[in-house]
Amino acid sequence: MGKRFRKPRTICSCKSPRLSYDKTPRSFFNCYEEDLWTEVAKHLDGKSLVKLAATCRWFHGVIMHDSVWRFACLRDLQVPAPSQVSFKWIKLYASLADGTHSYMFRDTDKHLDWLRIRAFFFNSQVALLTEKPKLPLKIRNQDPVEKTLESCGACMLTNIKKGIWIADLQLVRCPVCESDKCEGTMQTLDTRHMELFLCKGFQDGSWKYEEIGSYEVNGTATAASGAIIDLKHLRSREVTGIFDLKSWAGKPDDFQPKAIITYHSVAISTNLQANQGLLTKYYTMKAGPDGEIVSIRISQQLI
């Protein structure tokens, strides 16, 4: 008796799985259960989320929901959630995770290298800027910012935009010398509000950095350091940890930059080789002439 062949199947389009079950006692599983895939999405990075969203329309609808990207953003940044944001969370995530930093928009010819430190959070609108991660002896509110910076290397800034701030460490060419062969470098603690790169005023260059003061160390400086702290949390246990330099700064013979970040502060410190002094400059960027401060920089160069 000859062997019977099965009827060959023709090529057909893929069909989405549908919920099906019989009457026998068994667990039911829906491949397209929204709550299930939303939970799975919490364990995926941004690249994996985009790939999953591209598989079909159904997954695109689930994965592109703003709540999914809000969770991914806060999870990766490890900061509290802001009360509100002005842009969709997927756009915010993209601007934070695509390798973009502030010197890519302007001054690219001066930029050498950079390091993402992470994120911190401003609960209040008042910040403490200091040239060294230590508590200044006294800052008088009635004195101008420029005067306090010049006298003790620290000041208080008001009208800070609340919310999540991103901190980067930038390495750029020293602006004193214009020679391409000059090996002089300058480190910058570069911080910005999370939404800055998506704002039109920043993109078109109408928002600019303004120097608000400087502090000069005459004679040998052992380290280039700086800190930005939400003043509301100055006495909190997590913030006071940045003043303990021995716990996080490098050993005297370690010249690699070090950084520490908490929920409400960020600080950097880099040990220096033999030098004749250090000049620290402080910059802010406002969202328009009368707007809130959306970016702060502490730049330091040898003199």
| 160 and 266 fall within a common domain | yes
- How many domains does the structure of the chain reveal? 2
Whether residues 89 and 109 fall in one domain = no
250 in Cβ contact with 203 (< 8 Å)? no
**CA nearest 190: which of 38, 97, 299?**
299
62-95 confidence digits (pLDDT tens) = 888 888 889 999 999 999 899 899 999 999 999 9
* N residues, the chain: 303
Does residue 28 belong to any structural domain of this protein?
no
Higher pLDDT among residues 48 and 166, named by residue: 166
Domain that holds residue 78: 34-95
Dig out the tokens for 125 from the structure.
């609108």
Same structural domain, 188 and 283: yes
Check whether residue 57 and residue 149 sit in a common domain: no
Q: Which amino acid is at 211?
A: E
Residue 8: CB atoms within 10 A of its CB come to 5
202 and 139 together in one domain: yes
Residue 15 banded pLDDT, cuts 50, 70, 90: very low
- What integer is the mean pLDDT of 33-53? 82
Asked, for residue 69, whether it belongs to a domain, the answer is yes
Rounded Cα distance between 193 and 74, Å, is 14
**Residue 113 predicted with pLDDT over 90:** yes
CA distance 38 to 35: 5
Q: Is the pLDDT of residue 261 over 90?
A: yes
- How many CA within 13 A on the CB side of residue 46? 19
Q: Given this model, what pLDDT does residue 89 score?
A: 94
pLDDT at res. 137? 58
Q: Express each pLDDT in 198-229 by its tens digit.
A: 999 999 999 999 999 999 999 899 999 999 99
Tell me, what's the pLDDT at 31? 61
pLDDT at 30: 56
In the chain, which ranges are continuous DSSP H helix? 34-41, 46-53, 57-63, 66-77, 89-97, 145-152, 200-203, 237-240
Q: Is residue 13 part of a domain?
A: no
Distance of CA 286 to the CA centre of its chain: 18
Asked whether the predicted pLDDT for residue 43 surpasses 50, the reply is yes
Q: Is the pTM of this model over 0.75?
A: yes
Residues 155 and 260 both lie in one domain: yes
Average pLDDT, the chain: 85
CA 47 – CA 64 distance, rounded (Å): 13
pLDDT exceeds 80 at position 246: yes
Residue 138's pLDDT is: 67
Q: Is the pLDDT of residue 12 over 60?
A: no
* DSSP letter assigned to residue 44: -
